[in-house]
Structure 1
Amino acid sequence: MPRTASVEAMKHYIPGELLRERKARAPDDIHVEIHAHAPVQEPVVVPAVPEPMLVWIVSGEAVVEERPLGGDWLAVPVRHGDFYLTTSPAPVEMRWRSTGAAPFCVMHVYLGLPLLARVVKEHTGKELGAFALREVSGERDAVLAGLFQALHAALSGATPATPGFVQGMAQAITAHVVAHYECSTDGRPVVRGGMPAHRLRRVLDAMHAGLAEPFDLGRLAALAELSTFHFSRVFKQATGMSPSRYFVRLRMDEARRLLSDTAMSVLDIGLAVGYASPSHFAQVFRESTGTAPSVWRGARQAR
């Protein structure tokens, strides 16, 4: 089953604090997010993206591990200045642990497909469907580092970056990536598709904000500007899960966080993530983790 859809490593895919964001205003725009991450992260599923996704290590150092769903882990040590490039058609699992004292912060950059198509045509003469980029994990590129540093500084400053500056950076980054990171497709068409990053982000924000509310497929599809059928299909392609299953996963992620980081009762935590019945909450939690909420909390506290 294909699992090609959008986006980014958004804040609800990869837990952490969203420090800055530049939302895409037009199809040509890049979508940029700056995140501060926890020093240690348990495995999380990162959706596939239609846009090329670049991740630049802003600060800190860590051992980052990734694998296809159910595959073998590949560990890559990274530090400030390293970058990732992915256009993988399938979701992956990631986990990491910091190996230094500096905060582990990253910048996600998604390149719009219309812009990519124009640059590919100008630089290679190819149509986008016949062009592919190679995967990069923890490499260094002096030119990209300079561009990323300028973009990060512009987004982090007191004065907001102008749309013209951001668009110029998108053009420069895309041109460099196309020129230096092409991967042969052997004549095979390259499959791309799915929700744009900013639409999927809108859906995930709504999911996370409504964990205590009933699941509403129609509302989420409307936020994505899609029919419920098409929305369900592309969402599952992106994440490997149906919208309802992913919503339950978010609820259980939040329940585990509350059990670990707060003194809230199990009853109140169940209510906070949408379960009025303690037995129903315990059942869903057990299906997700293999143990009861109170037992899970006790095991975490004993560490």
Structure 2
Amino acid sequence: MPVPVSTSAESFLSAHIHGKVLAANKGDAWQGVKAVITESTACGELLDIPPVSEPYLVWFISGESEVHDREKGGPWIRSIVKKGSFFLSTGGEPYDCRWRALTPEPRVIMHVLLDLSLMKKAYEEVYGIDATHARPRDVSGGEDSQLNALMEQLRDELTRRKASRLLVSGIAQAVAIHLVRKYSALTQQSNSTGSPSLPGFKLRQITDWMSKNLAEEFDLATLSEIAGLSKFHFHRLFKKATGKTPSKYHIDLRMSMARKLLRETRRSVVEIALEVGYANPSHFAKIFRRETGLSPSDYRQLR
């Protein structure tokens, strides 16, 4: 079955949550939030996950796992998760996910989706008239003690025979405000399309940092932290904004500087390789030939 472009909270929790269901929201207490607790296998098959409009929280109750996720056709992004870890997804494109247990404990997870009207109220309370300019960010394998406490309360209500409508509503509101306060930010301009984007000022901040640190080893985690996004979603939004993956952009910066140094200086190829971040001159020469069609020495002779 093809992965839908997007799906509703109800359909997502009924059709796209894998594993044995241990508890699920029932009754009219669950008006602004949907939740399911599952126990999954030690090793997960490749799953196709469609995006949902609602913020989607995955909170780990027990077990330690190695999780890999990726946008369709993109590189796998690895995270280590344990009790208290969480993932936050705020929409986007369908993605793939797989995992492997690292401990013998059961892999128990709570899946939570917050109602869009509740999130809208939270944005309006936190940002006022600027609410439409605020954008959420995604988190992979995060740790958050305050969110942990709220999730524990929500889990307790989910496992009761009859949940309290007032308490569930209060917890959901507290979660919504916490997510908006801690995991969103104002962009310099609104995104009229409503689709996820990397703001121009944030893109400049990241590319400037890459230019100043091009000799450093490429590290997707560092760049995504600067952007305030999960590695998975940063990779997607950066490619959408520049037409290149972050790693390819980094290589292009290095090659541009290498060409400049080969043209404008008499420094040796070994020195230039070190200057742009390659400790192994043979590897530098291989990358340079792949990117330009010439060896560094042949390129220098053309100046």
TM-score calculated relative to the size of structure 2:
0.58
- Residue deviations 1:106-161, cap 9 Å, x none? 1111111111111111111146543221110001101000010111122123x321
Aligned pair partner of 1:102 in 100, 105, 111: 105
Which structure's CA Rg is the greater one? 2
1:24–1:174 distance in 2 versus 1, CA, 3 Å? farther
Percent of pairs identical after alignment?
Answer: 32
Q: Given that residues 129 and 191 in structure 1 are in contact (C-alpha distance below 8 angstroms), is that contact kept between their aligned partners in structure 2?
A: no
> What one-letter code is carried by the residue in structure 2 that aligns with 1:92?
Y
Where 1:49 maps in the other structure, the secondary structure is coil
Task: Give the match for residue 119 of structure 1.
Answer: 122
**2: distance between equivalents of 1:190 and 1:146?**
35
CA RMSD of aligned residues (A): 2.5
Q: Given that residues 57 and 82 in structure 1 are in contact (C-alpha distance below 8 angstroms), is that contact kept between their aligned partners in structure 2?
A: yes
Greater relative contact order (CA < 8 Å, ≥ 6 in sequence): 1
1:101–1:145 distance in 2 versus 1, CA, 3 Å? same
Gaps of 5+ in 1: 194-303
Task: Give the match for residue 88 of structure 2.
Answer: 85
State how 1:18-97 maps to structure 2 within 5 Å: 18-23=21-26, 25=28, 29-97=32-100
TM-score calculated relative to the size of structure 1:
0.58
Q: Given that residues 59 and 79 in structure 1 are in contact (C-alpha distance below 8 angstroms), is that contact kept between their aligned partners in structure 2?
A: yes
Q: Given that residues 56 and 106 in structure 1 are in contact (C-alpha distance below 8 angstroms), is that contact kept between their aligned partners in structure 2?
A: yes
1:165–1:3 distance in 2 versus 1, CA, 3 Å? same
**2: distance between equivalents of 1:76 and 1:61?**
11
Aligned pair partner of 2:171 in 164, 169, 172: 169
Where 1:41 maps in the other structure, the secondary structure is coil
Gaps of 5+ in 2: 196-303
Q: Given that residues 38 and 104 in structure 1 are in contact (C-alpha distance below 8 angstroms), is that contact kept between their aligned partners in structure 2?
A: yes
- Count matched residues: 191
1:190–1:91 distance in 2 versus 1, CA, 3 Å? farther
Where 1:125 maps in the other structure, the secondary structure is helix
1:191–1:176 distance in 2 versus 1, CA, 3 Å? farther
1:184–1:3 distance in 2 versus 1, CA, 3 Å? farther
Where 2:151 maps in the other structure, the secondary structure is helix
> What one-letter code is carried by the residue in structure 1 that aligns with 2:79?
V
